[in-house]
Amino acid sequence: MSDSRNVLTPDALAMMDVIARTGSFAAAARELGKVPSSLTYSVRQLEDALDVLLFDRRSRQARLTAAGIELLTEGRRLLEQMDAVASRVKRVGAGWESQLSIAADGLISRITMFELCEAFYSLPPVRSVPARGHSQAAATAAAPDAGRAGPPATLGGPGTRLRLRTEVMTGTWEALTSGQVDLAIGVGIERGLPPGVQMKELGSMPFVFAVAPHHPLAQCQAPISDAELMRHRAVAVADSAQRLAPQTVNLLPGQDVLTVSSMQLKIEAQLRCMGCGFVPEPLVREHLAAGRLVARPVQRATQSARLGYAWRTPVAEAPGAARKPQLGLALRWWLVQLDRPATRQALIERHTFMPLAGM
């Protein structure tokens, strides 16, 4: 290990901060409970190891050189990172995951998802602790403008990093089973479960066949046949699955199709009379009420999509599984919210902003 790495310890970086903040070796020595000669010796060790001058000793005060300012700036950043690592380790040790990844199907209410995230971040924080060997003076360095070390830094919520992603149809399930996410919301309920995956029902999403009011099919009053649908372009959302077989729903062989990447884009295309198709009723409810889209009956059955939410758990027969917690605390919190009927209904129904009781 190089000499520079040996001398760049948390205590040495904290000492630099105290000297710079107090303006003299004598004042810094009093604050740290040391004699000035001890600080002078430690600074010379730093300078010799780095082969630079850190303080301009021509002044009566301890003025940092350009190299000293750089070391102080980077040293404070390193101390903050060490505290953050210690905090993350403590959270993981207490059962809080360092990161929780969630995939939500494009049919799921984005408003409700963000409100759930807000509620998660409002949980009481897990207080950070100094790293082993990190002195009280080092804690002071994280707050250079304070005369005394304050309480340990905190983050809003338990500190678990959330990663949200939007998927479509089979892509939502693939993200979970491939290990890319820990929780998938809005997966199709009719499927077999592989080992290590559990699922519960979220609810049913009703679909309607809708077109713009100036679309030729808007004038049809009788149920529209497949033969008539074939004459008109359909708008479809591409399944986001990359490995599993993608789904194709309500498209007729040989029908002209405009393919888009999300349900929101599909609705936009149909509002612009670029095609027709089946859309989730809760997502277009306001458009239907305002006459921007009109629902029309069709001969083929319109079905509701049965949706669920699924999560990964340790496989019971996996080596060491008995010694692992079954679920992290962050995932447990989300599952508690999803177990509430009001939350499940909001995730399906609530696509315009309005206060949600009980959240």
At 284, which CATH number? 3.40.190.290
Q: Is residue 151 part of a domain?
A: no
Asked if 9 and 46 sit in the same domain, the reply is yes
* 114 and 173 housed in the same domain: yes
- Please report, for the domain that includes residue 65, its CATH number: 1.10.10.10
Q: Which two tokens stand for residue 76?
A: 């404070």
Length of the chain: 359
Rounded to an integer, what distance in angstroms lies between the CA atom of residue 314 and that of residue 308?
20
Residue 150 lies in a domain: no
Domain around 257? 207-303
User: Do residues 334 and 115 touch, judged by C-beta distance below 8 A?
Assistant: no
Domain membership of residue 359 (yes or no) is no
Do 233 and 344 reside in the same domain of the chain? no
Domain-embedded: residue 107? yes
Residue 199 and residue 241 in one domain: no
Residue type, 310: A
Instruction: Tally the domains of the chain.
Output: 3
Which of 62, 74, 65, 76 lies closest to 28, judged by CA? 62
Transcribe 328-357 into DSSP letters.
-HHHHHHHHHHTSHHHHHHHHH--S----T
- Identify whether 320 is part of a domain: yes
Distance, CA of 38 to CA of 61 (rounded, Å): 17
Tokens 């996996």 correspond to 318
CA 166 to chain centre: 11
The residue type at 53: L
pLDDT at 156: 56
Query: Is residue 59 included in any domain, yes or no?
Result: yes
Q: Is 186 helix (H, G, I), strand (E, B) or coil?
A: strand
User: Can you give the pLDDT at residue 142?
Assistant: 33
DSSP notation for 90-105 = HHHHTT--SEEEEEEE
Q: Which amino acid is at 187?
A: V
Asked if residue 323 and residue 292 are part of one domain, the reply reads no
Rounded CA separation 334/158 (Å): 13
pLDDT (0 to 100) of residue 335: 96
Task: Quote the pLDDT of residue 297.
Answer: 93
- In a domain? residue 356: no
Written as tens digits, the pLDDT of the chain (359 aa) is 456 677 788 888 888 888 888 888 888 888 888 898 888 888 888 888 888 888 887 767 788 889 888 988 888 888 777 765 655 565 555 577 888 999 999 999 999 999 999 999 999 876 544 444 344 333 333 333 333 333 333 455 788 899 999 999 999 999 999 889 999 999 998 888 888 899 999 999 999 999 999 999 999 989 999 999 999 999 999 999 888 877 778 888 989 999 999 999 999 999 999 999 999 999 999 999 999 999 999 998 777 899 999 998 875 554 554 555 568 899 999 999 999 999 999 999 998 754 444 44
Residue 357 domain flag:
no
pLDDT of 152 reads 39
Q: What is the CATH number of the domain that holds 170?
A: 3.40.190.10
User: Does the predicted model carry a pTM greater than 0.75?
Assistant: no
In this structure, the answer to whether residues 7 and 70 fall within a common structural domain is yes
Distance CA 223, CA 220 (A): 8
